[in-house]
Structure 1
Amino acid sequence: MRRYLSTIKYALGISLVLGATGCSDQLDEVQPQTSLNRDLILSDPNAAMTLYYGVYGSFRSYHYTLFTLGEMRSEIWADGLFTESEDGGLRNYYTHNIDANNVPAGNWAGFYSLLDKINTAIKLFPQTPVTEDQKTRVLAEMHGLRAYVYYTMLKTWGGVPLTAEPVTEVGSLEELYKERATPEAVMAQVKADIEQSLSLFADDDALAAGFTGTSKHIYWNRAASLTLKGDAYIWSGTHMGGGSADLATAQQALEEVSTISGLGLVENYADLFDPAREANNPEIIFAISYEKDEATTGVYSSFRVNTTQAGTLLLDPYTNPRTVAQAYPYLAGASRVGLSESMIQKLQSSEDERIDATFEVMYRNDPPAYPIAGVLLTKFAGREDAGSQLYDVDFPVYRYADVLLMLAEAKAKQGGDPSAEINQIRERAYGSSYTPYADGSQEQDLRAILEEDLREFIGEGKRWWSLRRAGDEWVFAYVDPVYLAPGQEYKFLLPISVSMLNSDPKLEQTPGY
């Protein structure tokens, strides 16, 4: 029996739903969980725009996934101090306790659900009754978003199944089987979508979609596509045989971002994470939006502290002693992951304003030693609002500091001088008395870039990707060899689960597992 799905799905990609169950008799039970009538989308501009906004609402639900995949396998949070039971799931990431029977981010982390929404928008929007300018802008954004998702999947699993069409009908279970494309094919899709996005944007440099009425940079834009282009071409130049040609393309794209009016570093680093300063923030290129009465972030709960301990743990016990509860009366969560003492000492070893704006160290009230209990990630703490904590800080996917450090990386890998970009980052971090960086060897340049990257992006889901993009040797230079050592390069990519392999005979395991 052929079951026709006459509505636009807002659920997991059908093949992935069935793959998770491993049961062919589930086929007849497949139903869209939330739907918009196709005919309504094609006849009513308001319904069409609901489809558009729905893509961004769905993208926001991947904040935890993007953060975890992009940061938790790095050295930042490994062997950290915490006050409650350890978050075992996150521990598996930073200890690289990963194998075919212990698979994090299973079922492709649910990304095919998001891709189906994006593919649906790309498919239907040309036929909707919105204005031509709106159609062009929406399609430009959707191609950019699809490129970003596939790029994230490429970095996570290597080759993955490729699909550029929404699922609209299901005949037999066999029709749903899909093999993994090669990494080269996935990268080709990423690059094709980037170029299509840039072509559709043309000279439209608006950082917020003109028909939304928002001044926050929370919709994909031309600067985001150019930044992604730089990111992806550095990756392909480093890891996929693109060499100097791809690195030069990356440099050109990133330099073009710097010519876009209204973009640049904010003067005060802490302003990046102040909800009151998100409108027209010149550093934010594309961010996930959080607003009161709309959505707030719960991603960082394990990086805070519970309310009972907040009344006993101290901040700055030697010079300005106060309890966490006194400093942050409404903050709540659990201390289940943290920074090691060595990492804390490394980050606090200089007058870097980024560190004070990122976390505070919590001490036990046990004088005179005041042992460190853990850290409180304050970067995304939000603000007090009507007697409660409002976690409404936008999550930056790309910001201008990304552009500068990736541009420095592209230059360094071509034998160029990255000091100008590094020093822009340093001057903001350390003030006018900063020590300028002078161009050195390629190894010295890349280390300088990665050291700034470490301090710049804590909590923003970037560090693991930065180490990976820099090159295999840099992963091993920073990650504890107890957890990941030369010879274990296969662990750079994640495996897929046995149930996925059993459900789809066309799938093959990630190499090495």
Structure 2
Amino acid sequence: MKPIKNIIFFATALLMGLAACKDKLTEVRPETSLDPNVILADASSAYALYNGVYASLRGYQGTLFLLGEMRSEIWANGIFTESEDGTFRQFWAQDFSEANAPLSNWGGFYGLLNRVNTVITLFPKAPLDAATRDRYRGEMFGLRAYVYYNMLRTWGGVPLTTEPLKEIGDLSSLYKERATPELIMQQIKADIDSSLALIGSTVSYATPSNPANNKRVYWNRAATLTLKGDVYLWSGTHQGGGNTDFATAKIALEEVGDNPLFALLPNYADIFDPLKENGNKEIIFALNYEKDQANLSSYGNFLVNTTQRSTLIFNPENPVSVVSAYPYVGGANRVGLSPALITQLTSSTPSDSRVAATFRTLHNNSAPYALRGVILTKFLGRADPISSSQIYDTDFPIYRYADVLLLLAEAKAKLGESPKAEIDAIRKRAYGPDFKPFTMASITENLNAILDEYQREFIGEGRYWWAERRAGDAYVYNRIDPKYLMPAQAYKLLLPISVSMLNSDPKLKQTPGY
């Protein structure tokens, strides 16, 4: 193992039990340490530490997408033009066991958490004005709650750490048992409260370190409130909170819904147009992608390669419409939608405007122009007018206003209230003035109507699986093919941890059921 420069990330890897490092610990000669006198020497150092968290968070987009997208039935048994992506298949086929555990090392989330914990811990003494220090720490409390919430939904109980690592000592001092799901949820809710108290009562996206910012790429009060609604719906459903938690969720979401900074954009495709991101009223918080900084590169398996494009067309009714080089060529085509789901999504009357902005179907270029697969077009970015190459710089939404509406609809449905206003708003944007208005029915029917909108609204955004899970286990079993998941396999709703993690840390125990 080579010496590393960042003691924080190395120690985090050790904490998660990378066995290969056990006998090489003595080789480590860190060149830096977590010295507050160095890190907080001046305001620019503090700003760099703060902005580094957002740069680090961006690196987890692919993991967040995988966890929230690929376990649902959307991509199950789909068609594609090349060999299938095995990782994606493992997720939608629910193919998990102790010997076949995905995302070893807790998905790497503890590296991000250590950065967040560092800001939370050190910033009370940062050379910044008090309001700025409080706001930045409030953002970090919100981000920490969001990360732990994703881990809770994925693995259940996980190791809980709220302090940054300061130095590497004996390896055994880094062992840490899994906290209970109840304790993790308690920490998430406490962090949400801290976030709201520190950020204050207003929503702002410009920061002292980036005063000209008009993109919604910094955590903020509305993001914490949306997370609060999401979290309390989960705890009300899965941790015994019931109507008390549902009512708490409703209040938080209504505050966001009433804020004039946010609204549904009239044109669904505009949400994902990288040239229309400044002041985008639908975005609450997104991961930032910019030319010459970072590309949103996790969707390569939803494109086609140069060789394949010569055999494919988009529109059978217009056989000369070959797949052009940009923006569709730049990867492979290894995952797709099933023909049945494509028909379901494209055959509604009136037509659903979300479909055209989300994917395009691929067909053979000769009669009878058989369906070959789909290209996910939602995050294609734009063509660079200078180089004529494709720039994948669409910001990736973590929360947007449609989330708020459907989360609020869920809170109302679970409280026995009508979610008509929220569902109708989503449908009107999708189908136009001839949309089919929502009709109040049973709680089960109402939640299924909400899930139907989730399925269409958020394809490719990593939300639908979590909506199914949050609705309740019965909704998951009713929507996923029982050959992949059934009530007798309820333990598979959470992921196992790897054998190497268990062998490396004697305090770790396997996820129940595996």
Same fold (TM over 0.5): yes
After superposition, the C-alpha distances for 1:234-255 in whole angstroms (9 at most, x for unaligned) are 0000000001100110011101
CA 107–339 in structure 1, closer or farther in 2 if over 3 Å, else same: same
CA 292–33 in structure 1, closer or farther in 2 if over 3 Å, else same: farther
Provide the residue aligned with 1:482 in structure 2.
483
State the AA in 1 paired with 2:59: S
Quick check: 2:7–2:167 contact (8 Å CA) kept in 1?
no
CA 274–36 in structure 1, closer or farther in 2 if over 3 Å, else same: farther
Quick check: 1:288–1:395 contact (8 Å CA) kept in 2?
yes
Provide the residue aligned with 2:81 in structure 1.
83
Partner SS, residue 509 of structure 2: coil
Quick check: 2:80–2:336 contact (8 Å CA) kept in 1?
yes
Q: Tell me how far 1:211 sits from its aligned partner.
A: 3.9
CA 95–226 in structure 1, closer or farther in 2 if over 3 Å, else same: same
Partner SS, residue 475 of structure 1: helix
CA 263–86 in structure 1, closer or farther in 2 if over 3 Å, else same: same
What is the CA–CA distance in structure 2 between the aligned matches of 1:340 and 1:194, rounded to whole Å? 39
Quick check: 2:477–2:487 contact (8 Å CA) kept in 1?
yes
State the AA in 1 paired with 2:108: G
CA 281–496 in structure 1, closer or farther in 2 if over 3 Å, else same: same
State the AA in 2 paired with 1:434: F
Provide the residue aligned with 1:466 in structure 2.
467
What is the CA–CA distance in structure 2 between the aligned matches of 1:210 and 1:376, rounded to whole Å? 40
Name which of structure 1's ranges 413-422 and 255-264 shifts more when overlaid on structure 2: 255-264
Instruction: Give unmatched runs, 5+ long, in structure 1.
Output: none
1:320-469 correspondence to structure 2 within 5 Å = 321-325=320-324, 328=326, 331-350=329-348, 351-367=351-367, 369-385=368-384, 386-469=387-470
What is the CA–CA distance in structure 2 between the aligned matches of 1:478 and 1:55, rounded to whole Å? 37
After superposition, the C-alpha distances for 1:201-238 in whole angstroms (9 at most, x for unaligned) are 12131134354121000010000000000000000000
After superposition, the C-alpha distances for 1:400-448 in whole angstroms (9 at most, x for unaligned) are 0000001000110111100110000000000111111111111111111
What is the CA–CA distance in structure 2 between the aligned matches of 1:121 and 1:27, rounded to whole Å? 27
State the AA in 2 paired with 1:272: I
Provide the residue aligned with 1:257 in structure 2.
256
After superposition, the C-alpha distances for 1:249-268 in whole angstroms (9 at most, x for unaligned) are 00111011112231111110
Q: Tell me how far 1:12 sits from its aligned partner.
A: 5.9
Provide the residue aligned with 2:57 in structure 1.
59
Partner SS, residue 375 of structure 2: strand
After superposition, the C-alpha distances for 1:39-81 in whole angstroms (9 at most, x for unaligned) are 2322211011101111000000000000000110100111010
Quick check: 2:303–2:328 contact (8 Å CA) kept in 1?
no
CA 34–169 in structure 1, closer or farther in 2 if over 3 Å, else same: closer
Provide the residue aligned with 2:24 in structure 1.
26
Quick check: 2:312–2:364 contact (8 Å CA) kept in 1?
yes
1:198-213 correspondence to structure 2 within 5 Å = 198-209=196-207, 211-212=209-210, 213=212
Partner SS, residue 232 of structure 1: helix
Provide the residue aligned with 2:159 in structure 1.
161
What is the CA–CA distance in structure 1 between the aligned matches of 2:270 and 2:32, rounded to whole Å? 38
Match of 1:69 among 67, 86, 90: 67
Provide the residue aligned with 1:493 in structure 2.
494
After superposition, the C-alpha distances for 1:111-146 in whole angstroms (9 at most, x for unaligned) are 000000100111111111122121011001000000
Partner SS, residue 325 of structure 1: coil
Provide the residue aligned with 2:508 in structure 1.
507
What is the CA–CA distance in structure 2 between the aligned matches of 1:45 and 1:511, rounded to whole Å? 46
What is the CA–CA distance in structure 2 between the aligned matches of 1:477 and 1:12, rounded to whole Å? 43
Name which of structure 1's ranges 35-44 and 53-62 shifts more when overlaid on structure 2: 35-44
Name which of structure 1's ranges 376-385 and 37-46 shifts more when overlaid on structure 2: 37-46
State the AA in 2 paired with 1:192: A
Quick check: 1:330–1:387 contact (8 Å CA) kept in 2?
no
What is the CA–CA distance in structure 2 between the aligned matches of 1:124 and 1:397, rounded to whole Å? 26
* Corresponding position: 1:299 with 2:298: yes
Quick check: 2:5–2:30 contact (8 Å CA) kept in 1?
no
1:48-197 correspondence to structure 2 within 5 Å = 48-197=46-195
**RMSD of the TM alignment (CA)?**
1.8
Q: Tell me how far 1:370 sits from its aligned partner.
A: 1.1
Instruction: Give unmatched runs, 5+ long, in structure 2.
Output: none
Quick check: 1:8–1:38 contact (8 Å CA) kept in 2?
no
State the AA in 1 paired with 2:449: A
Q: Tell me how far 1:34 sits from its aligned partner.
A: 7.8
What is the CA–CA distance in structure 2 between the aligned matches of 1:29 and 1:430, rounded to whole Å? 62
Provide the residue aligned with 1:224 in structure 2.
223
Q: Tell me how far 1:25 sits from its aligned partner.
A: 2.9
What is the CA–CA distance in structure 1 between the aligned matches of 2:288 and 2:404, rounded to whole Å? 20
Provide the residue aligned with 2:240 in structure 1.
241
Quick check: 2:33–2:166 contact (8 Å CA) kept in 1?
no
What is the CA–CA distance in structure 2 between the aligned matches of 1:338 and 1:35, rounded to whole Å? 46
What is the CA–CA distance in structure 1 between the aligned matches of 2:31 and 2:482, rounded to whole Å? 45
Partner SS, residue 285 of structure 1: strand
